[in-house]
Amino acid sequence: MQTTRFVAGACLAVGLLQAQCALADDVLSPEKVSFYFAAHQDDWQLFMNPSAFQDVAASKTKTVFIHMTAGDAGLGTGNGGRKHPYYLARENGAETAIHFMADSGALPVDKTESRIDFNGHQIYRVSYRNTVAYYLRLPDGHPTGSGYPQTGNQSLKRLAEGQIETLNAIDGSAAYRGWEDLVSTLHAVIDYERAHAPAVQLNVAEQNQGINPHDHSDHQMTAKAALEAADGLACARRVFYVDYASSRLPENLDDQQRQMESSVLAVTAAGILALDHTSIWARYHRTYLGRNYFRVEEAAGRCADTVPSSVQAAANRPRK
C-alpha cells in the first residue's frame, strides 16, 4: 500500500491525483477549524450531530474532536471481564465513526498516531484526513461529579471545585495539577490546531440549566474548561448543544440529516462491539436520534495571525 506524505504546497507521492493534492492543501491550510469538546467518546455523536458530520464533510474545514474523559465508568484501564479495556473500546467506537465520516465516498487512508507535549502533558493524538482526535483519558466523573471509588473518586468537577489537587489520566499518561493546569493545556491545544485559520468554532454542551437541565457533570465541566481555555478568542463562534434533555424534545431533523446522525451512531456502536463490549445501538441511545438542538454565539472579532511560539514549539515534539 502506498503511503502518502503531505507537505505544504506539494504532493510527494508519485501519481497522486490533482483532487488529492487539493485536499492536502485544504487540510494544511483550512479556512475553518471546528472543535468538538466531548466528555465521553459518544457525546458528539449523540448530541452534536449531524453538525459534526457536516463539518467533516467540508473539505476546507479541519474538525478536531477532543475527548476529555476515558468514559470508563469507574473501570479505569480494566476490561470489565471482556477481552479489551472498556475505554479502548469506546475510543475505537469514536475513531471508527470519525473515519466513516471522513471516508464518505472514498477509500481509507493511513492514520497518524502520536503523543504530543502540551503544557508539559503528553496527550494521545490521531490525525486522519481533515480530522484530528485527542484522548485525554481522564477518569469518568460519574453523572453527579463525585467520581468512582475504583479511580480514587477523581472527577473534573472535584478538580474545578478544589476538592482534589490533581487529576490523573487513567493510563498514567498525564497528571493535571489544578484546574488552571488543565485549562492552560486545552488553551495550548486550541492554539496549536487553529494555527492560522481565519475562522474557529467551539462546540460544547449548553451551560444554561434552564435550556439543558439534568446534564452529566462531565459534560458541564468539559464545556466549562473549553470555554475558559478559549476565553479572549474573539474570532471563535460558540455553539451550545442540548444534551440529555434533547431526548424529550420534538424531532427537528429532516430525512437526510437523520440518516447522517443515525449512521454515525450505528458505526460507533460497531466500533465498540469490535472490541468485545456492549453495543450502544440500544433503545435509550436511539431516543436522541432525529434531534439536534443548539444555540449560537457569533464571533466578535478576527483570529490572530500568529500562534504563540512557545505553543508551536511544544506541540512540534510528537512522540510515538
Residue-wise pLDDT for 227-239, tens only, equals 999 999 999 999 9
Reported confidence tier of residue 21, pLDDT bands at 50, 70, 90: very low
Res 27: pLDDT: 62
Backbone angles phi, psi at 124, to 5 degrees: -75, 130
Bridge-based pairing state of the strands 131-138 and 236-241: unpaired
CB crowding 78-106: b at 16 or more within 10 Å, else e = bbeeeeebbbbbbbbbbbbbbbbbbeeee
Q: 298-316, pLDDT tens digit by residue?
A: 999 888 654 544 444 444 4
pLDDT band at 269 (very low <50, low <70, confident <90, very high): very high
For the chain, domain boundaries = 1-29, 31-315
On whether the CB atoms of residues 71 and 46 are closer than 8 A, the answer is no
* pLDDT band, very low/low/confident/very high, at 5 (cuts 50, 70, 90): very low
* Whether pLDDT at 69 is above 50: yes
pLDDT, averaged across the chain: 89
Measured at the CA of 260, the angle between CA 212 and CA 267, to 5 degrees, comes to 95
pTM beyond 0.85: the answer is yes
In the predicted structure, residue 7 carries a pLDDT above the cut 50: no
At residue 88's C-alpha, the angle toward residues 44 and 312, to 5°, is 65
Count other Cβ atoms within 10 Å, centred on residue 13.
14
What does residue 140 show for φ and ψ, rounded to 5 degrees? -55, 130
Name the nearest CA neighbour of 245 among 282, 281, 206, 279: 206
DSSP state of 66: E
CATH architecture of the domain formed by 31-315 = 3-Layer(aba) Sandwich (3.40)
Whether the pLDDT of residue 19 is over 70: the answer is no
Please write the tens of the pLDDT for every residue from 89-128: 999 999 999 999 999 989 999 999 999 999 999 999 999 9
* Percent of the chain surpassing pLDDT 90: 84
Separation between Cα atoms, residue 147 and residue 101, nearest integer Å: 33
Q: Which residue has the cell 469490535?
A: 274
Query: What's the mean pLDDT in 254-258?
Result: 98
